[in-house]
A = this chain, B = another copy of it.
Amino acid sequence: MQNFLSVHDVPDINRLIDSALAYKANPLKDNTLGAGKRIGLLFLNPSLRTRLSTQVAARNLGMEAIVFNVDKEGWALEFEEGAIMSGSTVEHVKDAAPVLGQYFDVLCIRTFPSLKNREDDYSELYIKQFVKHAGVPVVSLESATLHPLQSLTDLITIREAYTAARKPKIVLTWAPHVKPLPQCVANSFAQWVNAWGEADFVITHPEDYELSEEFTKGARITHDQDEALKDADFVYVKNWSTFNDYGKIYSNDPDWMLTEEKLQLTNKARVMHCLPVRRNVELSDEILDSPASLVTREAGNRVWAAQAVLAEILKGA
């Protein structure tokens, strides 16, 4: 693997999941693979799980990890080609990325969408500019439209928790929230589950919350949450803002919050969420505090997802 920006960088999803689960069983089995290698974790936006789990993963592989909060400890980067930089941006990615590529063997980057201009966000300009100019492998810690380390973690968790012989039914359901959120986690989950191909996959959301077909193609989509939940084995709960009329909150109907009662419709489904979760807005206490919830295990698996990806990058480099 040269970079890790989306599922398209992964030659074999199940093999990557196998690798992650092997690290979970034996975290230090490759603890010299990254000896003498240095990983830079660049944050243009806040992060808890991604930040910490990737540091832990790197160190499990014997790599040195250095964190840099670009905006807070450095300054605002410019991404526009040909910009006359007389405004608030202080350094162009064309200058910063090759410098960082000299300091690090692998660059990991988190950068959020603006949610203002869909074309800009969906062009993935920021992370692509890093790839173009860094000269070393780049790993997405969530970009404008995707969150591949989260999706890999989600599939690891599903494979770990599911034991039946038939294909699991997986439902991705929209949930209410107080702020307009990126589509990244939902896009990425849809993209990975579709590429994986080993599930009966349904997406449910209110009208006007369609995601991009680029990622959802292959899934069944319905506006009837109850119908979607029927016989589900996994319910993945996530809010996102509108894609068509970009970055808006249309409806915020609290009836879309998953409750214990709705969960009765499922096949004793396990409930997933990428965290952070707004309790009693996105997801009720009664579910999060019940054995149905996989959210803590899911977050713990972030370490093994990152470790499997970094190991592939190290081997491919």
| Chain A residues packing against B (C-beta within 8 Å) | 28, 36, 38, 40, 43, 46-49, 51-53, 55-56, 59, 64, 66, 68-70, 72-75, 78, 82-87, 90-92, 94-96, 98-100, 102-103, 178, 275-281, 285, 288-289, 295-296, 299-300, 303
Contact in complex: B276, A95 (CB < 8 Å): yes
Q: Considering the complex, give the chain B residue whose CB is closest to the CB of A53.
A: B103
Contact in complex: A52, B103 (CB < 8 Å): yes
- 4 closest pairs, A vs B, by CB? A91-B276, A102-B300, A85-B278, A48-B74
Interchain CB contact (< 8 A) of A85 among B46, B72, B279: B279
Interchain CB contact (< 8 A) of A279 among B51, B53, B92, B276: B92
The CA-CA distance from A103 to B278 in the complex, in Å, is 22
Residues of chain B contacted by A96 (CB below 8 angstroms): 48, 275-276
Contact in complex: B36, A102 (CB < 8 Å): no
Contact in complex: B52, A83 (CB < 8 Å): no
Contact in complex: B73, A46 (CB < 8 Å): yes
List, sorted by A's number, 25 A–B pairs whose CB atoms are closer than 8 Å.
Answer: A38-B59, A40-B52, A43-B73, A47-B73, A48-B70, A48-B73, A48-B74, A48-B96, A48-B99, A49-B99, A51-B68, A51-B74, A52-B66, A59-B64, A69-B73, A72-B72, A85-B278, A86-B178, A86-B278, A92-B279, A94-B288, A94-B289, A95-B275, A95-B277, A96-B275
Per DSSP, are chain A's interface residues mostly helix, strand or loop, or mixed?
A: mixed
Contact in complex: A98, B296 (CB < 8 Å): yes
